[in-house]
Amino acid sequence: MGEPPDAEDPAGATPPLNAAGRVILGMIGLGKATGYDIKQLVDKSTRHFWAASYGQIYPELRRLEGQGLLHSRSEPAGGRQRTVYELTEAGRAALDQWLRAGAGLVWELRDEGMLKLFFSDLIEPERRLAVLSQMRSALERKRDQLVELDRSLSEPASGPRMTLEFGLGMTRWMLDWCEQAERRLTPEPPD
């Protein structure tokens, strides 16, 4: 009746993938090799809906290897250290299982602009407009980034392209909403 020894989780149900584990296993499934590569791709492409930092990635790579989902080999480039990861059979299975799982999907938003609008009855109308305009300019920046990314993406129809189109569409929708709200709240100048 003791706890089984950890480290290799023998004959055990692998614990479900945590947030970092999901994106890492996926990226390695797509062929990304090193922690650094993964971080680059995350920052370029999934950051807008699923972020990850080095502080998560490197420890998680090791945890996943400890669970037998990844296999690493050292492949220095010149004198430069480099650890390349690939999926094991178990890793491929875990990734597949997660991708197919029918359970509830995480969906969490933290939007400070919305929170300020929620409380904006406490401030003057001009200040409410200022919040909207701040939101709008942040969204414009994000839209430009995504448009740029869109240009650099080659594949015609693919997962990455779908999510980019979604992100761009949603950003544009939010931008429109801000603009409309600003117009609605701006007092008519008497002409």
Partner DNA sequence: CAGGTCATGTAAAGCGTTACATGATTTT
Partner DNA sequence: AAAATCATGTAACGCTTTACATGACCTG
Q: In the complex, which residues of this chain contact DNA (CB under 7 A)?
A: 18-20, 34-37, 40, 51-56, 58-59, 61, 77-84, 110
Beta-carbon contacts of residue 191 (< 8 Å; ≥ 6 apart): none
Q: Choose between 81 and 114: whose C-beta lies nearer to a second copy.
A: 114
Distance of alpha carbon 49 from alpha carbon 112, whole angstroms = 16
Which amino acid, 143? R
Q: Tokens 């002409």 sit at which residue?
A: 191
Tell me which of a second copy, DNA, none is bound by residue 109, counting a contact when its beta carbon lies within the kind-specific cut-off of 5 to 8 angstroms.
a second copy
Residue 190 Cβ, how far from a second copy at the closest point, in Å?
A: 21
- 48 lies in the binding site for a second copy (CB under 8 A): yes
Q: Choose between 72 and 163: whose C-beta lies nearer to DNA.
A: 72
Residue 36 Cβ, how far from DNA at the closest point, in Å?
A: 3
Residue among 144, 150, 159, 186 that touches a second copy (CB under 8 A): 159
Distance of alpha carbon 116 from alpha carbon 131, whole angstroms = 7
- Contact letters (x/-) for a second copy, 90-109, by CB under 8 A? -----xx-xxx-x-xxxxxx
Q: Is the separation of the CB atoms in 85 and 72 below 8 Å?
A: yes
Q: Choose between 12 and 169: whose C-beta lies nearer to a second copy.
A: 169
| Angle of the 89-100 helix axis to the 19-29 helix axis, nearest 10 | 110
The number of beta carbons lying within 10 Å of the beta carbon of residue 86 is: 15
Q: Choose between 25 and 175: whose C-beta lies nearer to DNA.
A: 25
Q: Tokens 């990226």 sit at which residue?
A: 27
Contacts 24+ apart (CB under 8 A), 170-175: 171/139, 171/142, 171/143, 171/146, 172/143, 174/135, 174/139, 175/136, 175/139, 175/140, 175/143
Contact set with a second copy (CB under 8 A): 19, 22-23, 26, 29-30, 45-46, 48-51, 95-96, 98-100, 102, 104-123, 127-128, 130-131, 134-135, 138, 158-160, 162-163, 166-167, 169-170, 173-174, 177, 181
